[in-house]
Structure 1
Amino acid sequence: MDVRNLRHFVAVAETLHFGRAAARLGMTQPPLSQSIRALERELGAPLFVRTRRSVSLTPFGAEWLPHVRSALDGVTGLSDIAERIRKGRAGRLELSFVSTADYSILPRLVHGFRQLYPDVDLALTEATSDMQIAALTEGNGQVGIVIPSGDVQLPGIFAYRRLVSEPLIAAVPENWITEGRLRTVAGRLPADAVLSSPLVVFPRQAAPLFYDLVIGYYAACGGTAHIVQTAIQMQTIISLVSAGMGVALVPASLRHLARSGVRYLELAGEVPQLETGIIWRRDDKTPTLGNFLDMVETVIERAPKA
């Protein structure tokens, strides 16, 4: 259905005069009359009752008019929508994230982006770093918050930006402290207490750098880790600690995950630092992604300095 015919119909319906409607539209009356007749033939019903003295809408025309106005409003808004999509102020952004980011950088990034671009559909997916890298490699998703891995080399495909670096702390069963099973020194957990405790940790495949950081801490302290359970969700790891299965070394931001039966303690001595960053495909020029990356820079610049 020709949009011009619809505009002609609305003009005649609002003026109820073919001459005045033609003047409003900047055309002569004969082609306007032809346009209305063509529209009526297409619809199979008359839109106007015409006499020598007056023009009025038929019941069908009166009922159809608000629907035509609504459709034309939508057409009129298409150029504005296109401009907003072109500038990344509308559209969609697919963001994946590791579970540890949920307690550190993710809330700030989501809040900042929502404030700046409320009309963008922000799709969030929780996934391990390896799953995110695999998905992005296949062209699924746009940007991921990951724990980087030194043994995964993807030159020319991905770009990476460091977001935060934070120390590891120990999550321990609270009753192990109250019952004297674990001793603390000045409120910190000494290395020998860590070495003598069973460990709950991410599997290496899911987070190689995190896993190696934890195991490296045991090696640096002169011991080996006794892994009793692995889990790919941080919430699950903390639940297992709460159940008394073992201790876990987690990012300091996990203090925000309050769980009955769990106490968070700083580690004594030299403490490993865990880095979290964002990764995206270099060939992705989507405007919403560009706006997100610009916003990330602002968030990092405004973050409190360690």
Structure 2
Amino acid sequence: MTDPVIDLRLWRQFVAVAEVLHFGRAAAGLHMTQPPLTQGIAQLERLLGVKLFERTKRSVQLTAAGAALLPAARDLLARARALPAQARAAQAGEIGRLRLGFVSTIGFAQLPQWVRGFRARYPNVALELIEATGDVQLQALERGELDAGFMLHSPGFVPPGLQHLRVTREPLVLALPDPHPLAAAASPRLAQVLDQPLVIFPRRIVPSLHDAILGVYRAAGRAPLVAQEAIQMQTIVNLVSAGLGVAWVPESVRQFQRQGVVYRKVSAPRGNPVPGAETSLVWPQAGPGPAPALERFVAFVKAAGGAGPA
């Protein structure tokens, strides 16, 4: 049996009578005559299958069922009254939900500041943060499981089919085990680095940056000696600490203080410079523009220091 859908008008009539316990005064407050009000209450009781009022010629009292329903009915009407304002706020991007993917490097500094500031300005927008590598974010964006994501890539590259806002640009530095001979140099030379065992992320994670790093080796006529692959930057740094090799990492990874690891800028010849890295906020191009809450977030990040499209 399907439950009846009850008109809000009947609930307003019920609350009006329940609050004054008098049909005549309730009708006056509703700007209606008493007979339609009496009929409305009777209709509500029939739809619910319960008696809401005990009525005599001299008094009107709530039944136990009526008293139990009154708080919920008041709440229902209050939420109904709030809907127009909520609709306007949703259109303005002041309420809603944002599912944001992010790579670990943006989580070291900028992201916590942006999340804190955005939540303070738009407390009714729920931010759901999901740490994920670039390949996982792309799949989630395609499936509609993410609204936007912060993705790492080589300078000037953004996955096709996505709108983007560049938020960081930084050099790559070399992570070395503390006891490594090259750690004693303030700026080791590139030629000294290229023969070292390398710890690197798989190409599928950040293809453009992976290719840019290996391009440095190819330009010097070398083949990288890949000792180990790892997905997360923290894991890569931990493997460096264990002595498995050296690793090229964005400079922001310096903030991940791991005992036994040092970071050095590498001196490279002008014809074969060390590449940099960028992070962009990306979101699907579908539709005339981002959803209002996402549009607010994009504008907030841009004002907070996003560099704009690459």
What band does the TM-score fall into relative to the shorter chain? 0.7 to 0.9
How much does 1:8 deviate? 0.8
Aligned residue for 2:85? 80
How much does 1:45 deviate? 3.2
Q: Is the 8 A contact 1:105 1:163 kept in 2?
A: no
Aligned residue for 2:66? 61
Aligned residue for 1:20? 25
Distance 1:46 1:204, change over 3 A: closer
Distance 1:223 1:130, change over 3 A: same
Aligned residue for 2:3? none
How much does 1:27 deviate? 0.4
How much does 1:234 deviate? 0.7
SS of corresponding position for 2:165: strand
Distance 1:142 1:183, change over 3 A: closer
Tell me the distance in 2 between the aligned counterparts of 1:204 and 1:92.
32
Q: Which runs of 5+ in 1 are unaligned?
A: none
Tell me the distance in 2 between the aligned counterparts of 1:212 and 1:112.
35
Aligned residue for 2:165? 161
SS of corresponding position for 1:278: strand
Q: Is the 8 A contact 1:103 1:257 kept in 2?
A: yes
Distance 1:266 1:80, change over 3 A: same
Tell me the distance in 1 between the aligned counterparts of 2:65 and 2:237.
66
Query: What TM-score results when the alignment is normalised by the length of structure 1?
Result: 0.87
Q: Which runs of 5+ in 2 are unaligned?
A: 1-5
Q: Is 1:106 equivalent to 2:111 in the alignment?
A: yes
Q: Is the 8 A contact 1:170 1:189 kept in 2?
A: no
The AA in structure 2 aligned to 1:159 is: Q
Aligned residue runs from structure 1 range 131-280, under 5 A:
131-148=136-153, 154=160, 157-176=161-180, 181-182=181-182, 184-185=184-185, 187-219=186-218, 223-269=222-268, 270-280=273-283
1:3 to 1, 8, 12: 8
Distance 1:137 1:78, change over 3 A: same
1:282 to 271, 282, 285: 285
SS of corresponding position for 1:101: helix
The AA in structure 2 aligned to 1:281 is: P
Tell me the distance in 1 between the aligned counterparts of 2:37 and 2:117.
52
SS of corresponding position for 1:250: strand
1:36 to 38, 41, 44: 41
The AA in structure 2 aligned to 1:230 is: E
SS of corresponding position for 1:300: coil
Write the deviation string for residues 171-211 of structure 1: whole angstroms up to 9, x where unpaired.
Answer: 111122xxxx33533x2233243223211011222212221
Query: What TM-score results when the alignment is normalised by the length of structure 2?
Result: 0.86
> May I ask how many residue pairs the two structures share in their alignment?
296
Aligned residue for 2:135? 130
Write the deviation string for residues 21-41 of structure 1: whole angstroms up to 9, x where unpaired.
Answer: 111001011101111122222
Aligned residue for 2:53? 48
Distance 1:280 1:302, change over 3 A: closer
Distance 1:225 1:141, change over 3 A: same
Distance 1:222 1:109, change over 3 A: farther
Write the deviation string for residues 35-73 of structure 1: whole angstroms up to 9, x where unpaired.
Answer: 112222233333222222222223332233222222222
SS of corresponding position for 2:304: helix
SS of corresponding position for 1:52: coil
Distance 1:272 1:133, change over 3 A: same
Tell me the distance in 1 between the aligned counterparts of 2:183 and 2:54.
94
Tell me the distance in 2 between the aligned counterparts of 1:302 and 1:212.
24
SS of corresponding position for 2:179: helix
Q: Is 1:121 equivalent to 2:126 in the alignment?
A: yes
Tell me the distance in 2 between the aligned counterparts of 1:249 and 1:45.
72
How much does 1:222 deviate? 5.9
Q: Alpha carbon RMSD of aligned pairs, Å?
A: 2.5
Tell me the distance in 2 between the aligned counterparts of 1:46 and 1:78.
30
How much does 1:220 deviate? 5.1
Tell me the distance in 1 between the aligned counterparts of 2:212 and 2:53.
79
238-247 vs 88-97, which deviates more?
Answer: 88-97
The AA in structure 2 aligned to 1:298 is: A
How much does 1:153 deviate? 6.4
SS of corresponding position for 1:88: coil
